Amino acid sequence: MGNKVLNIIIIILVIVIVIFAVLIINKDKFIDNSSFTLNGENVTLKFNETYSELGCSCIDREGNDITSTVQINENIDIKKPGLYQVTYQCEDKTLTRDVTVSEPDSYELNINYEIDKSEPTNENINITYTITGETFVNATLPNGTITQERMGSFVVEENGLYTIQASNIKYDIFKKEINIENIDKEKPTGECIATLKQKNTLIKVNAKDNTSISKYEYYDNNILINSNSVNEYNSSNKTTEKISVKL
């Protein structure tokens, strides 16, 4: 009876020793060394400020760094204020980071323009525009063209009222009206009468034009002798018979 009990005790001790040895040898398989953490905290961006990914760190059960396998997903629109989430997936674990895009300082848009000809002209006029404001989305030109460019130009061929429209992220519409009235493609009509005297010459012009005549240039034998804004010129010198006037 005594030997039988002793044998059982010995068997139990052997089993315990074997189990303990197995645990020692395979201890790493029974210990979870995994971790999954974000670098940094939640992020707040200014309007239209570029988002820079802070990243994360992922370690598996065996203690291996598997950060390179992390899948990161985000749909942040830095031109649209609101709360967004960046999702990090590592094996069967998921983390999220909140990213807030702040409201802009102003939703206002400003439209500035320049025209290449301000004096009366018989040519087309080129209008260059610039739109400023951080919430700009697109512009609509007088011919209906929609563009996302803040700067551009277009050509007008006749007098009239031309409107540039600009839209912001809230779909507010800002307008700039441009009144063009100095295009005159029809030549003026009329006559030039020169009265030659002994010591001087009196030149009178009777002319009509679609726009007001702002300048008269008086020529003697194709040489400019005077330029003014009136339709009459009294030359102090006697001229030749080749008098002409350019309007």
Q: Report residue 231 as tokens.
A: 């339709």
**Distance (Å, rounded) from C-alpha 120 to C-alpha 209?**
11
Does residue 13 fall inside a structural domain? no
Q: What is the average per-residue pLDDT within 22-41?
A: 77
Question: Is residue 175 very low, low, confident or very high in pLDDT (cuts 50, 70, 90)?
Answer: very high
Does residue 196 fall inside a structural domain? yes
Q: What is the pLDDT of residues 234-244, one digit of tens each?
A: 777 656 666 66
What total of structural domains would you count in the chain? 3
Shared domain check, 135 and 92 = no
Whether the model pTM is above 0.75: no
Shared domain check, 148 and 203 = no
Does residue 219 fall inside a structural domain? yes
Residue 116 has pLDDT above 70, yes or no: yes
- Residue 215 to residues 78, 227, 240, 242, 247: CA-CA distances in angstroms? 55, 7, 22, 20, 6
Does residue 10 fall inside a structural domain? no
**DSSP character at residue 120:** -
168: closest CA among 134, 129, 135, 145? Answer: 135
Does residue 224 fall inside a structural domain? yes
Q: Which of 180, 206, 223 is a domain's end point?
A: 180
Q: What is the pLDDT of residues 138-164, one digit of tens each?
A: 999 999 999 999 999 999 999 999 999
CATH number at residue 49: 2.60.40.10
Exposure string of 127-137, with b = 16+ CB inside 10 Å and e = fewer, is: bebebebbbbe
Q: Domain span at residue 220?
A: 189-246
Residue 168 has pLDDT above 80, yes or no: yes
Q: SS3 of 136, please?
A: strand
Question: Is residue 188 very low, low, confident or very high in pLDDT (cuts 50, 70, 90)?
Answer: confident
**DSSP character at residue 65:** B
Does residue 15 fall inside a structural domain? no
Does residue 5 fall inside a structural domain? no
Does residue 144 fall inside a structural domain? yes
Question: Is residue 102 very low, low, confident or very high in pLDDT (cuts 50, 70, 90)?
Answer: very high
Q: What is the pLDDT of residues 57-98, one digit of tens each?
A: 999 988 899 999 999 999 999 999 999 999 999 999 999 999
